């Protein structure tokens, strides 16, 4: 084959190869064609198709239809804070008429501190009467205030605490109330200014029951730490939703503990029990045998509260 003809054939083949190369490059640089119905700028990409499948599983409300409201969250109603009231009485007697009581005043101070600093009783809701302030008139005024307080209701805690002398009408004890053969009394600070042997100037169990019996609290603790205190176990003082603790039986004396300068039950029931978080019933049950061993007294309880009454906790 002549040389010039072979050259023409080679040039033709090279041109054909070049044309095929340009065509291949052009096919790779061709722009993506938008998918029908996707709108401008939304290329047909498989990953977007997968995403759209999951999104289409979300049910959307029809145009113009308001979405269904979310259910309101449910929660237990917050209980109203408990209202708390107290009368605290403590009387020392430094005379020879009825005998000396040394630490009742201190018992009252300790109880007041426990109620206010520990159990959250507002100071303005407490009538604290110690020694010379604990006259008959002041104690009766405090009882009248408590029995007529509009704030005392089923959501209230009430405490009546008395530490001092107690008397009973029995021959030989110096108390002879006309027409009354079985009476028990609290002894206010100013008792000696009255004819107390006839019952004047004292606060008898029936009078105390009249005031306390008109109080309708959700929880009420009545504590009487005195000689013959078991005689206060009577309706009006006892009652529904109440616990009444008495330091001795109706024919027994109640003692004190000079080493700790408190009444025997104040130390063993209140300081060693209630003040450390125990319920009234738990504290009483633990303290009663100790009181017998220490002072020969047998404390008494009248419990008409369902379950245990723990004033540290809401019922």
pLDDT in tens, 156-184: 999 999 999 999 987 655 576 767 777 89
Q: Which residue has the tokens 């804070």?
A: 81
The winner for highest mean pLDDT among 36-50, 95-109, 162-176, 274-288 is 274-288
**Which comes out higher in pLDDT, residue 24 or 226?**
226
37: number of CA atoms within 13 Å, CB side? 1
Please list the helix, strand and coil fractions of the chain in percent, rounded to the nearest 5, in that order: 35, 15, 45
Torsion of CA 264, 268, 269, 273, to 10 degrees: 160
State the average pLDDT over residues 148-155.
Answer: 94
Residue from 243, 220, 267 nearest 107 by CA: 267
pLDDT in tens, 209-240: 999 999 999 999 999 999 999 999 999 999 99
- Measured CA distances, 305 to 200, 243, 281, 301 (Å): 34, 6, 10, 11
Instruction: Assign 196 a pLDDT band (cuts: 50, 70, 90).
Output: confident
The helix/strand/coil state of 286 is helix
Label residue 213 exposed, middle or buried (CB < 10 Å: 0-12, 13-18, 19+).
middle
Average pLDDT of the chain, as a whole number: 82
- Measured CA distances, 44 to 35, 41, 55, 225 (Å): 5, 10, 16, 92
Residue 214's φ and ψ, nearest 5 degrees, are -90, 5
Q: Which residue has the tokens 């119905």?
A: 37
Instruction: Assign 29 a pLDDT band (cuts: 50, 70, 90).
Output: very low
Tokens of 117: 């600093």
Bridge partners (DSSP) of residue 83 are 156
May I ask the CATH class of domain 83-303?
alpha beta
Q: Which residue has the tokens 């004047």?
A: 200
Is the C-alpha dihedral spanning 193, 129, 261, 165 positive or negative? positive
Residue from 237, 285, 290 nearest 260 by CA: 290
- pTM to 2 decimals? 0.75
Contact 196, 202 (CB under 8 A): yes
Q: What are the structural domain ranges in the chain?
A: 83-303
């Amino acid at each position: 084959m002549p040389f010039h003809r072979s050259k023409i054939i080679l040039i033709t083949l090279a041109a054909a190869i070049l044309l095929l190369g340009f065509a291949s490059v052009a096919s790779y640089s061709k722009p993506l064609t938008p998918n029908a119905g996707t709108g401008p700028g939304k290329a047909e990409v498989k990953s977007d198709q997968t995403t759209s499948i999951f999104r289409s599983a979300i049910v959307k409300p029809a145009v113009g239809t308001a979405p269904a409201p979310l259910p309101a969250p449910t929660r237990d109603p917050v209980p109203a804070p408990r209202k708390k009231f107290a009368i605290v009485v403590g009387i020392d007697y430094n005379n020879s008429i009825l005998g000396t009581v040394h630490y009742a005043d201190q018992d009252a101070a300790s109880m007041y501190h426990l109620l206010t600093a520990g159990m959250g009783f507002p100071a303005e809701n407490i009538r604290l009467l110690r020694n010379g302030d604990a006259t008959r008139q002041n104690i009766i005024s405090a009882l009248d205030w408590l029995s007529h307080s509009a704030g005392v209701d089923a959501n209230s805690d009430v405490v009546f605490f008395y530490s001092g002398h107690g008397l009973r009408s029995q021959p030989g004890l110096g108390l002879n109330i006309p027409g009354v053969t079985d009476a028990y009394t609290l002894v206010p600070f100013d008792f000696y200014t009255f004819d107390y042997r006839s019952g004047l100037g004292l606060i008898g169990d029936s009078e105390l029951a009249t005031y306390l019996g008109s109080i309708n609290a959700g929880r009420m603790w009545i504590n009487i730490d005195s000689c013959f205190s078991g005689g206060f176990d009577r309706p009006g003082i006892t009652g529904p939703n109440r616990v009444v603790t008495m330091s001795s039986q109706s024919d027994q004396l109640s003692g004190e503990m000079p080493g700790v300068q408190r009444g025997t039950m104040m130390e063993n029931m209140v300081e060693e029990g209630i003040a450390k978080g125990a319920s009234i019933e738990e504290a009483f049950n633990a303290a009663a045998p100790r009181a017998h061993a220490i002072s020969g007294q047998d404390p008494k309880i009248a419990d008409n509260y369902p379950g245990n009454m723990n004033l540290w906790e809401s019922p």
